[in-house]
Amino acid sequence: MLIRFFKQSYLQQFLALFFIQLILWGKYLFSPQDTSIFIRIHPLYNLSLNLIDENPWVMTFIAFCLLALAAILINVIMIRNELAPNNSLIPALVFITLMSHAPSLLTLYPELIAIVFILLSIDRIMQCFGESDILVINNILSASILISLASLSYLPAIIFILLIWISMFIFRQLSIRIWAISFIGLSLPYTYYIAYNYIFDKPQDIYITWLRFFIDIKPITIDYPDPTYVIWGLITVFAIIAIFHTLTHLNERNVNIRRKVMVIVWLFIISLPISLFGHADFLASQSFLFIPLAIFISGYMGTVKTKKWHELIFILYLVLILLNNHLY
């Protein structure tokens, strides 16, 4: 069946993964969505739109490619850190389905660009356990710069700097130099961006707009097609089972894996407040949660013995996504 098929990683699995993403996105690759609902105050997002002249077909194609890249990144991160079995594409499959389960996610939005930077940052953070101070400093510097770039793509993503600081405690890396380098890494992209604005006499009211963005928290409104709510229910059930299984079997893992799982738990916790800033689309702001959820769900599906009900629910889940994306 499908889950068992993706427990291997060969050419046919990669082709099947691409085909599934293509089917889920198919309608919107040829009929792109209007992206005017997304707030245009995020510097890297604005830069991306300017470079492609806001061409809707190009935007959708770039989004498709970014999601494929993010899926491969999360797959590599999980296998490299022993959170998923070797030669498995389940993490990539789960992440693609989570990030494609509703029409509003099938376009280029600020959070999607930020997610790529955050995944690269997580990879650097995970490489800090048990390493020498020099390697840890290099990794923390890279991770901090990546978080900063993520926040320039979507401003609330700056909260993920907390993940670096919390990970330092989890990995017992408490050197003052490491803390200092995280602040330096976080500030570097902003230093260049602010200097650019002053040198080229850009409007400075952008900073006031940023402040208003964080202060003006609007009530969350949720209005999606009916299948979306059923899909959310299936995701919630699978997530609860996966998180419960992971935490209750944590003592069976070695210290290295246990600490890395705790980093993912904190990633989940830190991702929760970002939903408060879902000014444009609540579901887009929730996409940061799909990173830890994909890790927990795929880790569960990849390690436990595949049962028929797993396969049936996952196939039902895919069918609902297809209906949701193509009929609404």
Stated as kind and residue range, the H or E segment containing 65 is helix 56-80
DSSP state of 288: G
Per-residue pLDDT 10s for the chain (328 aa) are 677 777 777 788 889 899 999 999 988 888 777 666 666 778 888 888 888 877 888 889 999 999 999 999 999 999 998 888 778 889 999 999 999 998 889 989 899 999 999 999 999 999 887 667 788 889 999 999 999 999 999 988 999 999 999 998 888 877 788 889 999 999 999 888 888 877 776 666 666 666 666 666 666 667 777 888 899 999 999 899 999 988 888 887 888 888 999 999 999 999 988 877 665 567 888 899 999 999 999 988 877 776 777 788 888 899 999 988 887 6
> How many Cβ atoms sit within 10 Å of the Cβ of residue 20?
20
Distance from C-alpha of 227 to C-alpha of 244, rounded to nearest angstrom: 26
Distance from C-alpha of 215 to C-alpha of 65, rounded to nearest angstrom: 33
Distance from C-alpha of 148 to C-alpha of 307, rounded to nearest angstrom: 42
List b or e across 24-55, with b for residues whose CB sees 16 or more CB atoms inside 10 angstroms. bbebbeeebbebeebeebbbbbeebbeeeeee
**What's the structural domain count of the chain?**
1
Name 322's Cβ contacts closer than 8 Å, sequence gap at least 6.
Answer: 23, 24
> Which range marks the domain in which residue 272 is found?
2-327
Tokens of 232: 């959310």
Distance from C-alpha of 321 to C-alpha of 137, rounded to nearest angstrom: 43
Q: Give pTM, 2 decimals.
A: 0.91
